[in-house]
Amino acid sequence: MAETLTQKILKNHLVQGNYQTGKEIGIKIDQTLTQDATGTTAMLLFESMGIDTVKTDLSVSYVDHNMSQFGPENHNDHLYLQSVSRKMGIYHSRPGNGICHQVHLERFAKPGATLLGSDSHTPTAGGIGSIAIGAGGLDVAVAMGGGEFYLNTPKVIGIKLSGALSPFVAAKDVILKVLSILSTKGNVGCIAEYFGPGVASLTVPQRATITNMGAELGVTCSIFPSDSQTEAFLKAQGRSQDYIALAGDEDAKYDRIIEIDLAELVPMAACPSSPDNIKAVSEIEDLQISQVLIGSCTNSSYRDLMTVAAMLKGQTVHKDVELGIAPGSRQVLSILSGNGSLNELILSGARILENSCGPCIGQGFSPGNGKVSIRTFNRNFPGRSGTTGDKVYLVSTETAAACALTGKITDPRKLPELFGIKAASIIEMDTIAIDDRMIDMPLPLNEAKNAEVIRGDTIVTPPAGQVPPEKLDGQVLLHCGDKITTDHIMPAGTFLKYRSNVPEYAKYVFNCFNEAGKPSFADRALELKARGGHGVIIASESYGQGSSREHAALCPMYLGLKLVIARSAERIHLANLINFAITPAFFDNPADYDRIRAEDRLEVDEFRQAIESAETFTVKNITQGFDFVCRFQLSDRDRQILLAGGKLNFTKNQN
């Protein structure tokens, strides 16, 4: 029977369950990655399991998020991660070596492998033919210990590519086109698989840009075949031994097919403030800008930055624009330095930033009030830049370079007439001088046993969950709208340094909804918890969009949250809620969402019993005097995790 590439890899890694669409399966995980903003908690949870060393083929700890080190918190995290990685059999990519997804693509990702990462953009490695999935840190910790990763057998959306990209049109425009079709919601339980004759025209870095922003679609992951382009990339990285040819069968059946002719695409932009608010650049031209940022795990490869260097050579950044460029890895920066391209960027007026996530997660370069910021990043959620009411547009590197030169949103296809600049024709390198000195090897087992783990005062072991109450005595702490992201729930930016200290970080849960002069969400939640009550969140569509940050469940759990009722929710956050003993439920009648108000008192009799066996349950609105029905979307295993008080307790009970 003909199979998709997705089916081939998942079936090859199947450990538990039957491969039937919608049914839960457990798969073996070959590789894991963590980064410092999520990895410290993941490592602490891994230690809590009492396992001496990782059981995967490869696990890597990266430091790429909290780099600025204002105060002791970030450096304490770095020292802890370096020392615990050496002890636990984990490779450690040191600060300055680069962004986890770029470095992993260069040095570790393999066609046909499964990768689980505590970062939502882990699917970047799908560009090399991996099934690469973002997850919460607790799921990654379990995988490091040899446990399976559970997911529902996915539907496969086939995206058939034909033709080739025109000059000044980029891989970023491909994924923006897909986002314009599928949007950021409604794709839970799906994998996007690219196939067709147009695939051969795209290099691995271009493919990785597309799979990276598959995270914004809400799909489990995205994947490209492994072919001659993959072989050439791995050969240049000195990893020819990792190459295998992989593709779906020609007559494979997809659950849905989207056809895109690459030759018909035009430069596109995601407008404020959602990655699926897509318009052609030509539709929004001439809007004045103040800032351009090039980098992030989406567009910081050798190909991306060589393209920008070629376009800016001999030119000067517009006087009203600040241009920042962050190379994705030390390898990329070294190549640019060696071939003179770095100098071209500097001479143009660009500011060269650290090889890190930086402004993409609100770590610096926040735009001024009311100013337009052009970015090659993957997310433009409201306030993510660090500025309230920000106006962030997401574009390709080609479009970003054009904007930097003109001081306004500009279709890069106009550059030949404006500046005489031709489209850059970048040829990937055949051979790269490999330098892995910034990747620490784990210690041999005999040395690891007695190795010291460095724990600064700001490293606090996260709390475990609690079993659900027999009866829910709830209060609606927040009634929120559509597309509530994990940035809304747990702010990043300057607050990231508190992630290793849950009691401290929890003070900022739903910080964006707090009003001056009124008790904060955290204060109200803790006061309710002290009275023996249970916090409830009421949400609309696509609750929990965005990053894998499990703190968006872990910190609310610490504050006493017990129940989230939504019209719909996104995959990673849904799993994180379950992992930290917060029960997710859904309105049986979506109209009931509109009837509930903040501060309403809600009760559920026999709440624990409902979690154990019910498909639906009744919620009493004591304040307004009506009942409404909710339904679960829980597997048997999900129910067991909730009843155990979360996945950490569940995992310990299994051992």
380 shares its domain with 483: no
Which CATH number goes with the domain that contains 178?
Answer: 3.30.499.10
Q: Which single residue is written with the structure tokens 């973002």?
A: 134
Asked whether residue 369 is domain-assigned, the answer is yes
Structural domain count, the chain: 3
221 shares its domain with 340: no
First to last CA, the chain: 38
343 shares its domain with 253: no
pTM: 0.93
pLDDT for res 549: 84
SS3 403: helix
124 shares its domain with 256: yes
Compute the half-sphere exposure of residue 112: CA atoms within 13 Å on the CB side of its CA: 11
- The tens digit of pLDDT for each residue in 273-316 reads 999 999 999 999 999 999 999 999 999 999 999 999 999 999 99
Chain centre distance of CA 144:
19
Which range marks the domain in which residue 623 is found? 472-654
Separation CA 520–CA 492 (nearest Å): 18
* 420, 397 contact by CB (below 8 A): no
pLDDT for res 64: 95
Asked whether residue 463 is domain-assigned, the answer is no
DSSP state string for 486-540: HHHHS--GGGGGGTT-HHHHGGGTTGGG--TTS--HHHHHHHHHHTT-EEEEE--
pLDDT for res 655: 67
Asked whether residue 570 is domain-assigned, the answer is yes
pLDDT for res 501: 93
CA distances in angstroms from 304 to 161, 275, 319, 596, listed in the order given = 21, 20, 23, 48
Asked whether residue 61 is domain-assigned, the answer is yes
518 shares its domain with 644: yes
Give the 3-state DSSP-derived string for 286-337, with helices as H, strands as E and coil as C.
CCECCEEEECCCCCCCHHHHHHHHHHHCCCCCCCCCEEEECCCEHHHHHHHH
Chain centre distance of CA 89:
25
pLDDT for res 77: 95
* 137, 41 contact by CB (below 8 A): yes
Which CATH number goes with the domain that contains 536?
Answer: 3.20.19.10
Check whether 361 has a pLDDT greater than 90.
no
Check whether 537 has a pLDDT greater than 70.
yes
Q: DSSP assignment, residue 127?
A: G
Better-predicted residue by pLDDT, 98 or 386: 98
Asked whether residue 550 is domain-assigned, the answer is yes
Query: In what helix (H) or strand (E) does residue 401 lie, and over which residues does it extend?
Result: helix 397-406
258 shares its domain with 272: no
**Where does a domain end: 241, 264, 287?**
264
- The tens digit of pLDDT for each residue in 139-187 reads 999 999 999 999 999 999 999 999 999 999 999 999 999 999 999 988 9
Short-list 509, 518, 615, CA closest to 552: 509
Q: How many CB atoms lie within 10 A of CB 333?
A: 21
**Where does a domain end: 416, 440, 455?**
416
SS3 554: helix
508 shares its domain with 590: yes
Lowest mean pLDDT, pick from 121-130, 199-208, 440-449, 530-539: 440-449
Lowest mean pLDDT, pick from 354-363, 389-398, 433-442, 468-477: 354-363
Task: Provide the pLDDT confidence category of residue 434 given band limits of 50, 70 and 90.
Answer: very high
**Where does a domain end: 372, 388, 416?**
416
Query: In what helix (H) or strand (E) does residue 446 lie, and over which residues does it extend?
Result: helix 445-448
565 shares its domain with 531: yes
478 shares its domain with 372: no
pLDDT for res 296: 95
35 shares its domain with 157: yes
The residues annotated as belonging to the active site are 64-65, 119, 379, 547, 549
98 shares its domain with 198: yes
Asked whether residue 453 is domain-assigned, the answer is no
254 shares its domain with 334: no
Check whether 58 has a pLDDT greater than 90.
yes
To the nearest whole percent, how much of the chain has pLDDT over 70? 100
Q: How many CB atoms lie within 10 A of CB 339?
A: 14
- The tens digit of pLDDT for each residue in 606-649 reads 999 999 999 999 999 999 999 999 999 999 999 999 999 999 99
